[in-house]
A and B are shown apart, each in its own frame.
Chain A
Amino acid sequence: MMDTQIDRELLEKIADLTGKPVGAFNIRKDSGCDGRQSTEHIEIANRADGKSGIDIRIKDGTVGETCHIPVIITKPGIEEMVYNDFYIGDNCDVDIVAGCGIHNCGNQDSRHDGLHTFHVGRNSKVRYTEKHYGEGTGKGGRVMNPQTVVYLEEGASIQMETVQIRGIDSTKRDTKIICGKDAEAVVTERLLTDDHQVAESNMEIVLDGEGSRGRVISRSVAQGNSTQVFYPRMVGNSQCFGHVQCDSIIMDSATVKSIPAITANSTEAQLVHEAAIGKIAGEQLLKLETLGLTPEEAEECILNGFLA
């Protein structure tokens, strides 16, 4: 497990893992299992239906535990489709850290597609982090297409945080969250594309239950000749509150398309969306230069802050 330098670096980048993780974990490497550990409260097992992937079962009342399930690809030419199902009991409070790192030095594409399905029990809180990272000098593309589906039962909540900073040539992300009564979904998305990279993010948050709340905060930077498309949708089916906020900084010859949509099927639904695309404001650069930063440092500082 974690035997090469590349493995260790990838794992640190995507899951902040140094050394063996504490608690439950499953490390997937080059389509095989490179280490797994269940705990008293969190059980990780191969899928019952024989498809590639794992089932993760978290017992009722599990509080303060973390589950790491990183995926790394270190060989060129690997293409995989993985199904992971999470069954989270009632009254839990847990952290789940996923993420995928690709190191591709070959000339064939490396590709990871995943479908994560979460069933979050009553009054449970889940923080879910997913980082994507790619590196390598080969001509082969680094491709990731993550799909996430979340069912939130009464009073449940998920804070989903996705980060993809450079390195991934092509990504298409699909996220769907269905909120029950008094459930809450908060999704923060951070994305930076460069060169000829392409990224698309489709999101649908369905506020089904009374008193449910949804919030999407998406910030992205598009550089070089890259292209980004955002399609966040919020649907309100009862007394609920939803807010979608998309902000993009566009640079060089990049293209950004942002198409937020809000749909109300109830007079009690309150939905708001804001979307903005623009270059770095000249005044911001000038202000930082008056504090002694060079124009390059000022730009970096603004981008880092924006994506923090």
Chain B
Amino acid sequence: MLELKHISYTVQEGDDKLGILNDISLTIDDHKLVVFTGPNGGGKTTLAKVIMGLVTPTSGQILWNGQDITPLSITERAKLGISYGFQQPPRFKGLTVRDLLTLASGNEKLSKDQCCQYLTKVGLCANDYLDREVDVSLSGGEVKRIEIASILARNSQFMIFDEPEAGIDLWSFTRLTETFEQIHAKGSATMVIISHQERIISLADEVIVVGDGAIRHRGSAQEILPQILADTLGSCPVLKKEANA
């Protein structure tokens, strides 16, 4: 179980303090699939990075299975079973897809077959990719899918995926949602998926709408989806007019 208690993150902007996250408290139970959604710049990625240890909150506490992990490093959290797939994964000159999957899995002797399975789950053919470097020669969608495969290879208890659908073609997207469904059905991991996709939102046990650094709504997909649509239309007179026309 993951608990966030009164998490705030502020940055200094000139003379002003800017609140990126404002007093967020949240509990995520084991084996749940939770989707974070909400407007661009709302604070979803920052919240995910707080959980992974990539961002240190200004105040608040993070408990993982009852243990206070707030002071722990990224590496220590990774070893405790938390993983995070980057929204914009970095590229590496000289590291191959196979190297990355091997590192992620923590198994130096990861077989070609195993690599292949992870890549297939994100719609990539292992033969074409295993020995390619994860550098600028890969397309955006390819890097993104390799990033997701690395999280699957890591196979940790708590997985965060940051907009896994971004830049991914329809075929791979379908494959990917099936993979999320499978992991969820097996109950082998807790998943937080940051997403703007209706298809992914509809898989969630719980949807959390993050906006202006706070939790705006929480509820089931059935409850939240209509609200999101209403909100979108409500805030923009032009869209509302078009919708009503």
- What residues make up the interface of A, taking CB atoms closer than 8 Å to B? 219, 247, 281, 283-284, 286-295, 301-302, 304-308
Chain B residues within an 8 Å CB radius of A307 = 94
Interface residues of B in 70-125 (CB under 8 A from A): 73-75, 78-79, 83-84, 86, 89-90, 92-95, 99, 103-104, 106
**Pairwise interchain contact A283-B73, C-beta atoms closer than 8 A:** no
Query: Does B154 sit within 8 A of A, measured CB to CB?
Result: yes
B156 (CB) vs chain A CBs: closest residue: A292
In the complex the two chains form, what is the Cα distance from A307 to B104 in whole Å? 21
In the complex the two chains form, what is the Cα distance from A305 to B73 in whole Å? 24
Name 6 interchain pairs, CB-CB below 8 A, sorted by A.
Answer: A219-B94, A281-B90, A288-B103, A291-B78, A301-B95, A304-B94
In the complex the two chains form, what is the Cα distance from A294 to B77 in whole Å? 11
- What residues make up the interface of B, taking CB atoms closer than 8 Å to A? 52, 54, 73-75, 78-79, 83-84, 86, 89-90, 92-95, 99, 103-104, 106, 150, 154
In the complex the two chains form, what is the Cα distance from A140 to B77 in whole Å? 47
**Pairwise interchain contact A294-B93, C-beta atoms closer than 8 A:** no
- Once A301-B103, A305-B99 are accepted as A-B contacts, the answer to whether A290 and B78 lie under 8 Å apart by CB is yes
**Pairs A-B, 10 closest by C-beta atoms:** A305-B94, A283-B90, A292-B78, A289-B74, A305-B95, A306-B94, A284-B90, A291-B104, A289-B75, A287-B90
Chain A interface SS verdict (over half): helix
Chain B residues within an 8 Å CB radius of A301 = 95, 103
Minimum C-beta distance from B54 to chain A (A):
6
**Pairwise interchain contact B103-A293, C-beta atoms closer than 8 A:** yes
* Residue of A291, A295, A307 most packed against chain B (CB within 10 A): A291
- Once A289-B75, A290-B52 are accepted as A-B contacts, the answer to whether A247 and B93 lie under 8 Å apart by CB is yes
In the complex the two chains form, what is the Cα distance from A147 to B24 in whole Å? 65
In the complex the two chains form, what is the Cα distance from A306 to B91 in whole Å? 12
Minimum C-beta distance from A19 to chain B (A):
28
In the complex the two chains form, what is the Cα distance from A300 to B83 in whole Å? 21
Minimum C-beta distance from A185 to chain B (A):
22
**Pairwise interchain contact A292-B106, C-beta atoms closer than 8 A:** yes
**Pairwise interchain contact B94-A291, C-beta atoms closer than 8 A:** no
Partner of A290, one of B84, B92, B93, B106: B84
* Residue of A287, A302, A306, A308 most packed against chain B (CB within 10 A): A287
In the complex the two chains form, what is the Cα distance from A126 to B128 in whole Å? 29
**Pairwise interchain contact B75-A292, C-beta atoms closer than 8 A:** yes
Chain A residues within an 8 Å CB radius of B79 = 292
A296 (CB) vs chain B CBs: closest residue: B75
**Pairwise interchain contact B54-A302, C-beta atoms closer than 8 A:** no
In the complex the two chains form, what is the Cα distance from A294 to B75 in whole Å? 6
B95 (CB) vs chain A CBs: closest residue: A305
B150 (CB) vs chain A CBs: closest residue: A291
B102 (CB) vs chain A CBs: closest residue: A291
In the complex the two chains form, what is the Cα distance from A114 to B73 in whole Å? 50
Chain B residues within an 8 Å CB radius of A283 = 86, 90
**Pairwise interchain contact B75-A305, C-beta atoms closer than 8 A:** no
Minimum C-beta distance from A243 to chain B (A):
14
Chain A residues within an 8 Å CB radius of B150 = 291
Q: A290-B74, A290-B78, A306-B94 are in contact. List 5 more A-B contacts (CB 8 A).
A: A286-B54, A290-B52, A291-B103, A292-B106, A301-B103
**Pairwise interchain contact B92-A302, C-beta atoms closer than 8 A:** yes
Chain A residues within an 8 Å CB radius of B92 = 284, 302, 305
Chain B residues within an 8 Å CB radius of A287 = 86, 89-90
**Pairwise interchain contact A290-B54, C-beta atoms closer than 8 A:** yes
- Once A290-B83, A290-B84, A291-B154 are accepted as A-B contacts, the answer to whether A308 and B74 lie under 8 Å apart by CB is no
In the complex the two chains form, what is the Cα distance from A278 to B176 in whole Å? 35
Minimum C-beta distance from A54 to chain B (A):
36
Chain B residues within an 8 Å CB radius of A308 = 94
* Residue of A219, A287, A290 most packed against chain B (CB within 10 A): A290
B80 (CB) vs chain A CBs: closest residue: A292
Chain B residues within an 8 Å CB radius of A293 = 75, 103
Chain B residues within an 8 Å CB radius of A304 = 94
- Once A291-B103, A291-B150 are accepted as A-B contacts, the answer to whether A286 and B74 lie under 8 Å apart by CB is yes
In the complex the two chains form, what is the Cα distance from A159 to B23 in whole Å? 61
In the complex the two chains form, what is the Cα distance from A304 to B75 in whole Å? 20
Chain A residues within an 8 Å CB radius of B54 = 286, 290
In the complex the two chains form, what is the Cα distance from A1 to B73 in whole Å? 53
